[in-house]
Every structure is written in structure tokens, then in C-alpha cells.
Amino acid sequence: MLSNIRRTIDQTLDSADKKFEAAFNPAASTADPEAKATSESAGYVMSLENMRDVLQSELRVAEKKIATLSQLLDASSKSKKSIQERLAGKETELQAIHSKLDSYQSQLDTMTRRLEETMALVAEAQEARDAAQSELAEVRTTELGELKERHSAEVAELSTALDRLREEHAATVAQQDRAAQSGTEELRDTRERLEVAEARVAEVEALLEDHRQAAAELLAEAPERATATEAPDQTELIDTLRDEVAELTGRLQTLSSVAQAARADADRYKQKFAGSRGEVFSTQQELTTLRGDKLELQGQLATLETDNAQLQTALDAKVAELEATRYHPADPTPDQARLEQLQARLREKQEAVEKLRARVFELEAEARSSDPYTIAPQLARGKKVTHPPALAALDELFAATIEALSLHPLIRVGVSFYVITLHVVLVIAMLFSLRGRGES
């Protein structure tokens, strides 16, 4: 602006000088040089005065503009100093960011190396697993065949033993039934004999009581007969009484022996009856026990049949599972596919990090080469200053952050921290840059 004003002033002064020289040039005078010179000089003086007034007004305007420009220059110099100071601070921060980026890159290299080692270990483990799976399939096939044969043999043995137990149990039950039936008949006979013996004992005891009463009556009548008869008859009577007493005594002894024999028979029959009852009771208990054993054997048979069915079902399911999960070397395993996918995503993330690093360098160069004098008038006129490359970088950072959150857990921590830290640092740097430009 100052150069334009000076150029205008110089052009005006040059035109005034030319007109003044033309006015006072004696070679340009006419026949009446004095009158013509007087009139022309008066015209030129008036024009010069007018021009002087115009130039003075323009000079005052120019002085005002120069004062304004000097103020702007002072303000711009101050803002330039502050911007230079801020740029120095930003350079320090950028150096710190570069050091952090280098540390993150070293961490990323370490993680990459560890991932490669893990991949090698996974490959070795996968080979070992393939060999173990093949061996396990062979062993399982052999063991399943042997287990089936052994199980079939055990089932056949158990079925044979169960049939034998059933036959023995049926024979024992039949024998016990026959023994119980014969014991019941013998018990009935013994009970009848016991009743007959008890009746005979009662009859003998009744006869013995009658004979005792008769002997007592004879003994009571003996003195009366002795006093009522004569002496010779007393001897006969005494002899008769003695004979009767001896006869009664013999009959009494006979009855006593018969009663003792009857009692002995009764006792024997009672003991036999008690023994028969005990045998019948024990036979019934054995029969009950055998019936319980029969029920228990039937339950064991049902359990064995159920276990056999379950074991057969489990064996069939296991064989089907082994057949379904048999390893085919030509097919890729899910772990290998997942590992290849993670490797591809890691390469993509490394490329994204390199792009972001290049973009940071571009933003640094753009911030250093940006002219604050072109932004300050826009801010003064109220225009909104945008930074499309920085916003694009932010979009890339957001996309990289979202993409990093879906990585494998082993890689997600490092990459997410790396990308989020870059994001935060770049946002802070942009905010400080825009704030400094707004203040300037």
C-alpha cells in the first residue's frame, strides 16, 4: 500500500514539474510572450495551487495510512515474535512426539518380532498336534476295537452267568417249595400225634386219680373192717387188702410209667413240632431271601442291560465323533486361518502408521511454512479458517482407532495406544496452532 501511495505521489509531482517547465519555457512563447506568459502562469499557478491542495489532502490520507500501517507492522512484529516463540515450543513438543514415535516404533518392532516367534511356535505346535492327532486316531481306533470286543465278551459272560443264576434260583425255589410242603405235612402229622398223646396222658391221669381215690377209700375202710370182723377174718382181710394195695400199687406204677412215656412222647412231639415250626419258619425266611435275591438279580440284570445300551450308544457316538473330527492335512485349520488374518491386519496397521507418520511430517512442514499475515486479515474480517488436511488426518486417525479396537488382543493394546496417543497429540497441536493464529 505504501508503494502505491508513493508511486501516485511521484506521478503527480512529475506531471506538475512537466507543466511548470512548459509554462516557464521561453522557447514556447508566442508573439506576445509577456501577456501569454502572464496568463499561462496565472493558470498554472491556480492549477498548481489546486494540485497542492489535492496533494496535501492525499498526503494527510497517506500519513494516516502510514500510521495505521506502522501500527499494523508493530502488532505483526509482536505477533511474529509470539508465533516464533510458540513455534519453538511446538518444535520441542514435536521432538518429544518424535521420540515417542520412535519408542512406539521400537515397541511395534518388538511386538512384530514376538508375533513372528509366536507364529513359529504355533507352526511347530500345529505340526506336533497333527502328528499327535494322527497317532491318537490310530490309537483310538485300535482301543475302540479292543474295547468293543472286550465289552461284547463281558456282556456274553454276564448273560451266561445270569442265565445260570436264574436256573439255580429256579431250582432252589422249587426245592424250598417242596421242602416247605413236606415240612407242612409232617408238622400236621406231628400236631395230630401230639393231640393224641395229650389225650392219652389226660386219660391216664384221670385213671390214676381214680385209683388213688379208691386206694385212699380202702385204707380208710380197713380199720372199720378190722374191728367189725373176727380175728381170723382180719388176717384174710389184711392179706386181701395187701393184695389189693399191691395190685393198685402195681397198676399205679404201670400207669405212672405209661404217663411218663406219654409225657415223654408229648415232649418229644412238642420238640419235634417246635423244630418243625422252626424249620418251616427258616424255610419261609430262606424263601423270602431267595425271592429278594431274585428281585435283586433282576434289578442287576436290568442295570446291566441299561449300562450295556448306554455304553454301546457312547461307543457309537465316540466313533462317529472320531470319524467326523478326523484330521485332513489338506484342509487349513481354524488357528492357521486366524493367524494369517492377523498377519494381514498387522501389515495393514503398519502401513496406516507409516501413512500417519508421513502426514504428521507434512503437517509440521505446513505449520512451519504457514504465513500468519495471510490468516490474520481473514480472522479480522470474521472469516472461518479451516484446515482440511488436518481434518482428513483426524478422520484417518479415527478410522485407524476404530479399526485397532477389533484387532487380536496381543496386538490391540500396542496399536491402540500408539494410534490414540498420536490422535491426542495431533489434536492438542492443532488446537494450540489455531488458538495462536486466532490471537495473532
E-only strand ranges, 272-392: none
Give the model's pLDDT for residue 87.
78
Question: Domain limits at 184?
Answer: 148-324
Range 71-100 burial, b when 16+ CB lie within 10 A, else e? eeeeebeebeeebeebbeebeeebeebeee
* Side-chain half-sphere exposure of 186, counting CA atoms within 13 A: 17
Task: Tell me the mean pLDDT in the region 406-411.
Answer: 53
Give the model's pLDDT for residue 212.
65
Establish if 268 belongs to a structural domain: yes
Establish if 200 belongs to a structural domain: yes
Establish if 205 belongs to a structural domain: yes
pTM: 0.25
Establish if 140 belongs to a structural domain: no
Instruction: Tell me the average pLDDT of the chain.
Output: 66
Q: Is the pLDDT of residue 85 over 80?
A: yes
Task: Tell me the mean pLDDT in the region 200-215.
Answer: 68
Distance from C-alpha of 258 to C-alpha of 201, rounded to nearest angstrom: 8
Q: For cell 498387522, what's the residue?
A: 346
Cα dihedral sign for 251, 252, 257, 261?
positive
The model's confidence at residue 139, banded by pLDDT at 50, 70 and 90, is confident
User: Which CATH number is 223's domain given?
Assistant: 1.10.287
Give the model's pLDDT for residue 352.
67
Task: Tell me the mean pLDDT in the region 128-139.
Answer: 78
| Of 230 and 190, more confident | 190
Q: What is the pLDDT of residues 256-309, one digit of tens each?
A: 676 677 667 666 766 766 665 566 666 667 667 666 666 676 666 667 667 666
Distance from C-alpha of 212 to C-alpha of 196, rounded to nearest angstrom: 24
Q: Is the pLDDT of residue 329 over 50?
A: no
Task: Tell me the mean pLDDT in the region 46-51.
Answer: 73
Task: Tell me the mean pLDDT in the region 67-91.
Answer: 79
Establish if 337 belongs to a structural domain: no
Distance from C-alpha of 140 to C-alpha of 135, rounded to nearest angstrom: 8
Report the candidate in 409, 423, 422 with the shortest Cα–Cα distance to residue 345: 409
Q: Is the pLDDT of residue 372 over 50?
A: no
Task: Please state the domain count of the chain.
Answer: 1
Q: What is the pLDDT of residues 427-439, one digit of tens each?
A: 777 777 766 655 5
